[in-house]
Amino acid sequence: MRVLLLGPNGQLGHDIRSAHEEAGEPFELLPLARDRLDVSVSGAVERVLDEFAFDALVNCTSYHKTDEVEDNATLAFAVNAHAVHAMARACAAKRARFFHVSTDYVFGGDVTRAQPLREEDPPSPVNVYGASKAMGETLARRTCEDAVILRVSSLFGVAGPSGKSENFVDTIIRLGQEKEVLRVVDDQVMSPTTAVDVARLVLRMLMDGCAPDLYHVVNTGSASWFEFAREIVRRAGIHTTVAPCTSAEYPTRAVRPRYSVLDNGKVSAAFGPMPPWQDALERYLSTKANVTSQIVPTVSSKKTRLITFADRYFLMTTDQAPPSEIAEWLRDPLFAAYVLKHRLR
């Protein structure tokens, strides 16, 4: 089986490649990054995909800078809808499976909602990003009869989101080092989800098969952004206060869903229970900390010079690490959290 992967360098694409490697590379995986296929360019999808023979296409591309998208609707619909339509046409022509990653932001219009959203609930986006993703879902399913739509939510992964400097977990850890009090919205509730769990499920779907359908692929449970941030700080061992605030106190260019918790019952019934988001968070932090503990046995000796950490630094040894270099290391939020948690000075 030959699988094309679009968006291989983002959070989910990175973890799909890692999961594929961990599984022993059970099929041929061909990553197509933006330098080979820019999905925002009209006609590029048809032209490039026509060059390849493939059995499945996994699309992790998306224009997902939610606030920026509000003022760039044309680009949003080009990437999140029209390019998806072209991918679906290519898959239909080649009789290939089409795995398309969507979002919980296709919901939000039901302001009284308080129960997890199921796949059959009608989309009701409240911002341009959500509307463009909803259209992409519709075009994919109407064009390719073997389309699998995977809705995810509030992803955090080791690679960080494409086009953004850090994910929410990393942001909270960084800000927790800088501020005594963090104010985080408590009236937006979602499903925190680690990219690695989604990636592993995508691999199982590819290898074991699944019915063409909509699936909510999220970790189990829900949290407001305030509750999520509070748990991040607690588990990372950061000494800061996380305080709740309302969306009105923290206005953004784009409206966010008040409630977009996804019910993962369908995918859990087919492939087994999805782990709780708290477990996913712990594994994410442990993965980062384990990398650090392996390469930073001590900082106080100043004999270990950290050049890279968590895919961004390498290790060297030196007789002395200048204070300026230590300060540079501490700018990395996860390294700083590790230092605080283990009292390395």
- Band (pLDDT 50/70/90 cuts) for residue 303 is very low
| Predicted local confidence at residue 336, as pLDDT | 62
Domain spans of the chain, in order of start: 2-164+194-219+261-274, 296-341
Tell me how far apart the alpha carbons of residues 66 and 76 are, in angstroms, rounded to a whole number: 10
Model pLDDT for residues 117-169, shown as the tens digit of each residue: 999 999 999 999 999 999 999 999 999 999 999 999 999 998 877 656 689 99
Residue pair 191/221 in contact by the 8 Å Cβ criterion: yes
| Predicted local confidence at residue 287, as pLDDT | 83
Average pLDDT over residues 62-73: 97
| Predicted local confidence at residue 288, as pLDDT | 73
| Predicted local confidence at residue 62, as pLDDT | 97
Between residues 80 and 296, the one the model is more confident about = 80
- Token pair of 256, please? 């966010």
Between residues 264 and 344, the one the model is more confident about = 264
Share of the chain above pLDDT 70, in %: 82
Q: Measured at the alpha carbon of residue 1, what is the angle toward residues 56 and 60, in degrees to the nearest 5?
A: 35
| Predicted local confidence at residue 318, as pLDDT | 38
Average pLDDT over residues 16-37: 97
Nearest-CA neighbor of 107 among 151, 72, 147?
151
- Band (pLDDT 50/70/90 cuts) for residue 221 is very high
Residue pair 60/110 in contact by the 8 Å Cβ criterion: no
Tell me how far apart the alpha carbons of residues 205 and 195 are, in angstroms, rounded to a whole number: 15
Instruction: Give the least confident one: 6-10, 85-89, 328-332.
Output: 328-332
| Predicted local confidence at residue 118, as pLDDT | 98
- Band (pLDDT 50/70/90 cuts) for residue 316 is very low
Model pLDDT for residues 319-329, shown as the tens digit of each residue: 444 555 555 55
- The answer on pLDDT for 304 being more than 50 is no
| Predicted local confidence at residue 340, as pLDDT | 53
Mean pLDDT of the chain: 88
- Band (pLDDT 50/70/90 cuts) for residue 335 is low
Average pLDDT over residues 157-184: 87
Catalytic residues: 129
- The answer on pLDDT for 51 being more than 70 is yes
Instruction: Give the least confident one: 88-102, 206-220, 283-297.
Output: 283-297
| Predicted local confidence at residue 188, as pLDDT | 98
Q: What architecture is the 2-164+194-219+261-274 domain classified under in CATH?
A: 3-Layer(aba) Sandwich (3.40)
| Predicted local confidence at residue 103, as pLDDT | 98
| Predicted local confidence at residue 337, as pLDDT | 59
| Predicted local confidence at residue 296, as pLDDT | 44
Nearest-CA neighbor of 198 among 187, 189, 190, 206?
206
Average pLDDT over residues 75-80: 98
Question: Strand runs (DSSP E) across the chain, as ranges?
Answer: 2-6, 28-32, 56-59, 97-103, 147-152, 155-156, 181-185, 189-190, 193-194, 214-216, 223-224, 241-245, 304-306, 315-317
| Predicted local confidence at residue 338, as pLDDT | 56
Residue pair 183/251 in contact by the 8 Å Cβ criterion: no
- The answer on pLDDT for 298 being more than 60 is no
| Predicted local confidence at residue 308, as pLDDT | 38
- The answer on pLDDT for 331 being more than 50 is yes
What does residue 145 show for φ and ψ, rounded to 5 degrees?
A: -70, -15
For the CA atoms of the chain, what is the radius of gyration?
21
Average pLDDT over residues 219-224: 98
Share of the chain above pLDDT 90, in %: 80
